[in-house]
Amino acid sequence: MDYLKINFTLEPNIKEASEIMMAQLGELGFESFVETKTGFEAYIPEEQFTPGSIDNLFIPFDNVKINFTKESITDRNWNKTWEENYFNPISIGNDVLIRGSFHNPAKDVKYEIVIDPKMAFGTGHHETTGLMIKHILETDMNGKKVLDMGCGTGILGILCSMAGAAEVTGIDIEDWAYNNAIENCQKNGIQNMKVIHGDASDIDSTEYDIVLANINRNILLNDISKYSKVLKSGGILYLSGFYESDLNVINNETKKHNLSFISSKRDNNWLASSYRKE
């Protein structure tokens, strides 16, 4: 699948303005964002982009001037693009290192995850991925059955397996993610993670101890009921991909489905929240 990259330049580059724009672009179908020194890049499947859709973004900053350029990105050149321009190894405390196969191996780290990204996201650089990893590191994964919704490159599911999960199921609707998650499981020697090409309608009747969903606000609100249905009593649901300002609406939806709020982790304005099935 070809993607459209739109490079937004903000003068001055006010972080809060970028975050407001990203939230609106997410509602328009943009799937990923990469911050730059002058603003950010936004990515959307080319076939889903509507010309003119980004012309009327609301920014409550009168002094910010916004310019943008468009570029078509194809799957076949993306690995090289990441290697040359974007993908630096990521450390999360002393526990996790995420690197590409083109980086040197780690030393003295508990979990080393090797991935070769096929698109502009799922590499661990985004705040929400780091927040979900921190939740996983604080959770006893031994013997657990885990569902990873919107698994992307498979990072979260792979980490759960490394931390002792008995079974992991990853589901993603994107072709590139489905294939890439399988490849990355193989790179990391993960044999107990099954990857499904689909969405929440493809969740089977298995009961899970832990459900992870790092997607976006609208999909989470639509699918929380499905997550709760397959979560065991006392099981934990971790949600991310939404802003701090969205927490109330997320919490209101979880309450409808017998899920009690436990806590949230924050990074900039992004949240990752945990819930227990009562």
pLDDT, the chain, mean: 88
Q: Does residue 121 surpass a pLDDT of 60?
A: no
CA pair distance 272, 263, nearest whole angstrom: 9
Q: Tens digit of pLDDT for each residue in 59-80?
A: 878 888 999 999 887 765 555 6
Q: Which residue has the higher pLDDT, 188 or 101?
A: 188
Q: Tens digit of pLDDT for each residue in 76-88?
A: 555 566 555 556 7
Query: What is the model's pLDDT at position 73?
Result: 76
Query: What is the model's pLDDT at position 120?
Result: 45
Percentage of the chain lying above the pLDDT 90 cut? 52
Q: Does residue 34 surpass a pLDDT of 80?
A: no
Angle at 149 between CA 271 and CA 178, to 5 degrees: 125
Supply the DSSP string of 67-122, one letter for each residue: EEEEEEE-GGGHHHHIIIII---EEETTTEEEE-TTSPPPSS-SEEEE---SSSS-
Query: What is the model's pLDDT at position 3?
Result: 84
What are the structural domains, with CATH classification, of the chain?
3-73 (3.30.70), 127-277 (3.40.50.150)
**Cβ(130)–Cβ(92) under 8 Å?**
yes
pLDDT band at 203 (very low <50, low <70, confident <90, very high): very high
Query: What is the model's pLDDT at position 154?
Result: 93
Q: Over the range 145-160, which residues count as b (16 or more CB within 10 Å of their CB) and which as e?
A: bbbbbbbbbbbbbbbb
> Which whole number is the average pLDDT over 187-208?
95
pTM above 0.85, yes or no: no
What phi and psi values does residue 17 have, to the nearest 5 degrees? -65, -40
> Which whole number is the average pLDDT over 246-267?
96
DSSP-assigned beta bridge partners for residue 11: 65
pLDDT band at 190 (very low <50, low <70, confident <90, very high): very high
Q: Tens digit of pLDDT for each residue in 228-241?
A: 999 999 999 999 98
CA pair distance 119, 139, nearest whole angstrom: 29
Query: What is the model's pLDDT at position 188?
Result: 96
**Which residue has tokens 């919704």?**
149
Strand ranges of the sheet holding 145-149, from the earlier edge strand across to the other edge = 193-197, 167-172, 145-149, 208-214, 231-243, 270-277, 259-267
Query: What is the model's pLDDT at position 228?
Result: 97
